[in-house]
Chains A and B, each alone.
Chain A
Amino acid sequence: MRVIKLMLRARDGYAVVEGIVVLGLSVLIGAALSAALLTQSRLARAVAERIAHNDAARMTLLVLPREIRLADPDRDVRASSADSLAGRWVRSSGTICASQGNLTWLRLRGIRAPDPAKDSLLLVSSQQETVHVLSAFVRDQAHCAASADEQIYRTTLSATPPDGAVAMIFESGTYYLSQRALRYRLGGEGRQPLTEEFLRDGLSTLQLVHADSSNVARFRISITLKPGLQYSTGRTEGLTVILPNGRAGS
């Protein structure tokens, strides 16, 4: 009992000091915790921003090269500038599998079903390429058998088709690097964004180099991402695609 009394008396003497120490420690720990939380929150935002920027860069560097990789720069690309690329982009392909006069049956496989409202037909034979409207375009397996994932279509051409040809269904569209994003415009529609608006206009460029006597054709895409909120500098990424259908002298 005496001991307890002595202890109480001793603690009583240091109550203020202890209080100050506890308060000080609490402030320090609170500040450290707050700093940690703030840092973590900033880090999380920076990571999220980095992911979004990466997605925009990846999408831009994936879509355009994929479209143009097997294109013929002299025939498929209608116009190109530093920030736009207009051309015909293949959506499905196959062969002529039968023909009767102007009636032609096509065996096709693609990323989507052909749409006569916005697609056209390109026939590639050994001598020439011809473009046709998808006239009276319907599914019809009367003359050809389809393999897995293939569809047979019948169309009426304005002229007799070649003896044999590769058929490509394409749509005409324009890609833009403008208004801070990769955009696509199909026909008379508006420019639809394909990425978030993280690109820097004027610093993100396209360059199509046609084949000459010493070089093969190539397509160069360079994008600069705008600085993020969490990091001050932007970054630049680029890619050059060699176009095998644009050989020198071809």
Chain B
Amino acid sequence: MKTKRDGVVLLLALLCLLALEVTAVGLHFIAQQELRVAGSSARDLELRLAAQSAAARAVAQWPAEQLDSMGLHLTIPVPAAGALSTTGIRSSASIERLAPHLFLVRATAVSPLLESSTLGLIVATTTAAELAAEVTAAVRSNGAIHVGAQSRVDWGAVGCRGAHALEVASLADLDMAGGALAGPVASADSGGTWPPNALGSLTIERLAELARASAALASPVSLYEHDVTLSGSAGNGILVVLGDLALDGGTFVGIVMVRGALSLTGGATIQGAVLVDGGPLVLDDATVTFDSCAITASLDQPRLLGPFRPRSRRWIPLF
């Protein structure tokens, strides 16, 4: 009798223990699964970020000379873009030339478990001549233009001449108040479209970004974030003003881009082109002469020619 009772209790206790063990094992299994899923998500994110970094490094280490001499649809690896993270993720990048000035950077990151993530980055380049061809008049403006006494807008000398002296949104905005005009005038009224805030893919925002990201002496662009008055100064290259600009005397050779109003007075001379997004543009005892040669020279700087973001999207899903 004693032995039988002990056996029943033992059996019941074992059953209880078994039930608890099954529950514990089940919970442990579920916890493991959740942990694996969370780990997989974390690795996925890490892989994606590693691939993005590899693509960015490939752009930073842009092998311009090698790519310039490469045929279309060919691909080269960019060893300098490769990396091995502390978690064992190996990333690499290659560049395929799609068109003379269009490239696809393929970046791949692979984990030690051979999981991988791949994405693409579209990168464009250009030439100074291509950019310069976007500027075709001494003055291009969206707003009103006042050409006062002793002022002149010239379409330039033969060889470096533009298509027009003036390109305006509307002929009604043009006020020739005693100034001289050498060369034809074109207007958006007659079907022309000339964005006064961009040189092809090089927008005024992009130029400002480049200036901000560069050390002052190495900057390809002279940038003024707000209104500015310059008196009797001489300069060359690309001048970008995000506010209003007043130029009193002095000489500038190259491109002047102004988002607000522009006032040229006191014998100020610009040899190149003036692009005014806002307006008005007032010339009072000032001269603007188109010069495609000076424009090309001002644009012939590696940092302006790419690699840069094209007008279309940038990141591409690759599989």
Q: Which residues of A contact B (CB under 8 A)?
A: 29, 33, 36-37, 40, 43-44, 47, 50-51, 54, 58, 62, 69-70, 72, 75, 90, 92-98, 109-111, 124-129, 144, 162-166, 168, 244-245, 249-250
Given the interface contacts A47-B26, A125-B102, does A245 sit within 8 Å of B314 by beta carbon? yes
**Which among A37, A127, A128 has the greatest number of chain B C-beta atoms within 10 A?**
A127
Given the interface contacts A47-B30, A127-B311, A166-B98, does A93 sit within 8 Å of B12 by beta carbon? no
Please report the C-alpha to C-alpha distance between residue A93 and residue B120 in the assembled complex, in whole angstroms. Answer: 10
Pair B317/A128 contact, Cβ less than 8 Å: no
Partner of B312, one of A29, A47, A127: A127
Pair A164/B72 contact, Cβ less than 8 Å: yes
Pair B26/A249 contact, Cβ less than 8 Å: no
For B160, list chain A residues within 8 Å (CB). none
For A166, list chain B residues within 8 Å (CB). 98, 104, 120, 122, 316
A-B contact pairs, 19 of them (CB 8 A): A29-B12, A33-B16, A43-B23, A47-B27, A47-B30, A93-B120, A95-B98, A95-B104, A109-B319, A110-B319, A111-B319, A124-B313, A125-B310, A127-B312, A162-B99, A163-B100, A166-B104, A245-B314, A245-B315
Closest A-chain residue to B33, C-beta based? A51
Pair A165/B27 contact, Cβ less than 8 Å: no
Q: Give the Cβ gap from A14 to chain B, nearest Cβ, in Å.
A: 13
Given the interface contacts A58-B37, A90-B317, A128-B312, does A165 sit within 8 Å of B98 by beta carbon? yes
Given the interface contacts A37-B19, A93-B317, does A125 sit within 8 Å of B205 by beta carbon? no
Please report the C-alpha to C-alpha distance between residue A208 and residue B34 in the assembled complex, in whole angstroms. Answer: 29
- Size band of the interface chain B makes with A: 35 or more
Q: Does B212 contact A (CB under 8 A)?
A: no
Please report the C-alpha to C-alpha distance between residue A124 and residue B102 in the assembled complex, in whole angstroms. Answer: 10
Closest B-chain residue to A72, C-beta based? B313
* A contact face: mostly helix, strand, loop, or mixed: mixed
For B317, list chain A residues within 8 Å (CB). 69-70, 90, 93, 168
* B contact face: mostly helix, strand, loop, or mixed: mixed
Chain B 1-50 interface residues, beta-carbon cutoff 8 Å to A: 12, 15-16, 19-20, 22-23, 26-27, 30, 34, 37, 41
**Which among A72, A94, A97, A126 has the greatest number of chain B C-beta atoms within 10 A?**
A126
Please report the C-alpha to C-alpha distance between residue A95 and residue B99 in the assembled complex, in whole angstroms. Answer: 11
Closest B-chain residue to A75, C-beta based? B313
Pair A33/B311 contact, Cβ less than 8 Å: no
Please report the C-alpha to C-alpha distance between residue A245 and residue B313 in the assembled complex, in whole angstroms. Answer: 6
Pair A124/B122 contact, Cβ less than 8 Å: yes
Q: Does B221 contact A (CB under 8 A)?
A: no
Partner of B102, one of A97, A109, A126: A126
User: Which 3 pairs show the lowest CB-CB distances between chains A and B?
Assistant: A164-B99, A164-B98, A163-B99
Closest A-chain residue to B5, C-beta based? A22
Q: Does B64 contact A (CB under 8 A)?
A: no
Using A124-B313, A126-B311 as known contacts, list a sample of 5 further A-B pairs with CB atoms less than 8 Å apart, ordered by residue number in A: A37-B19, A126-B122, A127-B312, A162-B99, A163-B99
Q: Does B73 contact A (CB under 8 A)?
A: yes
Q: Does B57 contact A (CB under 8 A)?
A: no
For B303, list chain A residues within 8 Å (CB). none
Please report the C-alpha to C-alpha distance between residue A110 and residue B19 in the assembled complex, in whole angstroms. Answer: 48
